Amino acid sequence: MAVTDHPDFDAHEAVLFVADRRAKLRAIIALHDTSLGPALGGVRMYPYVNEDAALTDVLRLSRGMTYKNAMAGVPMGGGKAVIIGNPRRDRTDRLMIAYAAQVNQLGGRYVTAEDLGMSLADLKLIARHSPYVTGVADADHQGDPGPKTALGVYHGIRAAVQVALGRHSLSGTSVAIQGLGNVGWALAQRLHADGAQLIVADTDATRAELAAAEFGARVVSTEEMLTTPADVLSPCALGGVLSAHTIARLKVAVICGCANNQLANRTAGEQLREKNIVYAPDYVVNAGGVIAVAGEYLGQSTAAGINARIERIYQTTLDILERARDEQRATSEVADSMARRILQDARLGRRPPPLTDSLSLGSW
Ligand code: NAI
């Protein structure tokens, strides 16, 4: 199948298959849309079963970055890279340097950052060979984007709980967190500090037990997680968790978490609406990390400035959810149409887009 016929192609500006035999590098770099600026998105290293699987992943993720950056008010486009390989076995300095050379060939049209399978040390090595890297500074607000992503999800939960349950505080609100990794754990800390009651599940039982000890969380099995009654479900592990099958069994009022591509397909958003579940679109609420790394690349260097931008996720989420309620549309559809409008305005040279104050690009 031609790449342009791929179901997830979605008019990508460029899709590059790159290889360096000596360095054993095989990678795909996808640039979805640069209307708002150079494409920004992480590089993932993963043992894909074949090139098709890698292509599908990179196309979906890079498109997601376009929408995420647009809705976060980040003046950068969407892109992503995947390195085909096992991060435990195939990671070498030579491979990272060869990847840097490929990024350089794009002359700044793509800016790379950390994603699954890559470490900060890998990115720092790449940064020694390429200027088009971010998320590598050591200042207190930078480096690991997980806590920044958690901060954005926390603001998203506040907004969604306000719309769905009419509550202005999270005290006493039950939140079921699926996955206590980098983001999930930092989110649990914030929610616990606000008096939320936590329910947790992780395939790594020690993480869940730790959360029970630290936050008084109730531990459920990974199977029970999606059928457990709670005010909020926060998917913080995997994508694709919201399908017709799982939605039929959910017993929550709100869904708001950090995992990318939570909706298994396009109809899932509408199914959630029909079930009266308020879904905070993933790419809107999980933009905290990218706001921080974009800030680093664009020279916005204060932690307070970055946190203020992340806090806007609260207002953006509120705007989307209220509009969806008023227009009786799926929240995912409303967010997509708002993002598309921002991109269209940028292409037409109209700036700032503001559909809402919270989406003003402002100056970086
Ligand atoms: P992580 O790898 O640190 O944590 C994932 C956690 O989920 C691990 O503790 C793992 O044991 C657990 N897990 C895996 N499968 C599970 C299952 N079926 N049920 C329950 N727990 C399970 O990853 P991180 O960085 O916390 O990211 C989580 C998700 O958020 C990923 O999908 C990632 O792509 C997405 N994301 C992360 C961002 C970041 O800044 N780290 C930014 C935007 C999205």
Which pLDDT value is given to residue 303?
A: 86
CA 115/CA 311 separation, integer angstroms: 23
pLDDT per residue as tens digits for the range 12-26: 999 999 999 999 999
Could you tell me the two tokens for 217? Answer: 């969380």
- pLDDT confidence of residue 323: 98
Q: For the packed helices 182-193 and 146-165, what is the interaxial angle rounded to 10 degrees?
A: 50
- Cite the DSSP H helix spans in the chain: 51-71, 93-105, 120-129, 146-165, 182-193, 205-215, 244-249, 268-274, 282-285, 288-298, 303-327, 331-347
Selected residue with higher pLDDT from 355 and 331: 331
Q: Is CATH 3.40.50.2300 what the domain over 145-358 is classified as, yes or no?
A: no
**What amino acid is encoded at 192 in this protein?**
H
Note the pLDDT of residue 329.
Answer: 98
The domains of the chain are located at: 3-68+75-127, 145-358
Instruction: Residue 192: name the closest of 230, 154, 141, 237 by CA.
Output: 154
Which of 178, 202, 284, 306 is the pocket-test mutation for ligand 1 (most atoms within 8 Å of CB)?
Answer: 202
Phi then psi dihedrals of residue 341, to 5 deg: -65, -40
Tell me if 256 CB under 6 Å of ligand 1: no
What is the sign, positive or negative, of the torsion defined by CA atoms of 62, 67, 71, 77? positive
Closest Cα to residue 273, out of 327, 340, 236? 327
Is 221's C-beta closer than 6 angstroms to any atom of ligand 1?
no
The CATH number of 3-68+75-127, from 3.90.1300.10, 3.40.50.10860, 3.30.1360.120, 3.90.870.40, is 3.40.50.10860
Least confident of 30-44, 186-200, 301-315, 331-345: 301-315
**pLDDT at 353 (0 to 100):** 46
**C-alpha to C-alpha distance for 37 and 44, rounded to whole angstroms:** 21
Contact 300, 306 (CB under 8 A): yes
Q: Ligand 1 centroid to 237 CA: how many Å?
A: 4
Residue-wise over 307-323: b if at least 16 C-beta within 10 A, else e? Answer: eebbbbbbebbbbbbeb
| pLDDT 10s digits, 311-351 | 999 999 999 999 999 999 999 999 999 999 999 999 998 76
Which of 62, 203, 206, 313 for a ligand 1 pocket mutation test, highest count of atoms within 8 Å of Cβ?
A: 203
Range scoring the smallest mean pLDDT among 109-113, 118-122, 139-143, 199-203: 139-143
∠ Cα 93 99 100 (to 5°): 90
Asked if 259 and 241 count as a contact pair (C-beta separation under 8 A), the reply is yes
pLDDT grade for 364, boundaries at 50, 70 and 90: low
Other beta carbons less than 10 A from residue 116's beta carbon: 12
Report the C-alpha gap between 198 and 331 in whole angstroms: 25
User: Residue 129: exposed, middle, or buried by beta-carbon count in 10 A (0-12, 13-18, 19+)?
Assistant: middle
Which of 74, 89, 180 shows the shortest CA–CA distance to 134?
74
pTM of the shown model: 0.93
pLDDT digits over 65-124, tens only?
999 999 999 999 999 999 999 999 999 999 999 999 999 999 999 999 999 899 999 999
Quick check: helix, strand or coil at residue 199? strand
Q: Is the CB of 183 under 6 A from ligand 1?
A: yes
Q: Looking at the predicted structure, is the pLDDT value of residue 358 above 70? A: no
Q: How far apart are the first and last CA of the chain?
A: 41
Does the C-beta of 115 come closer than 6 Å to ligand 1?
no
Give the Cβ contact number of residue 86 at 10 Å. 12
Provide the pLDDT for residue 363. Answer: 62
pLDDT score for 83:
98
Q: Is 80 annotated as catalytic?
A: yes
Q: Do domains 3-68+75-127 and 145-358 have the same CATH topology?
A: yes
Indicate whether 352 pLDDT > 60: no
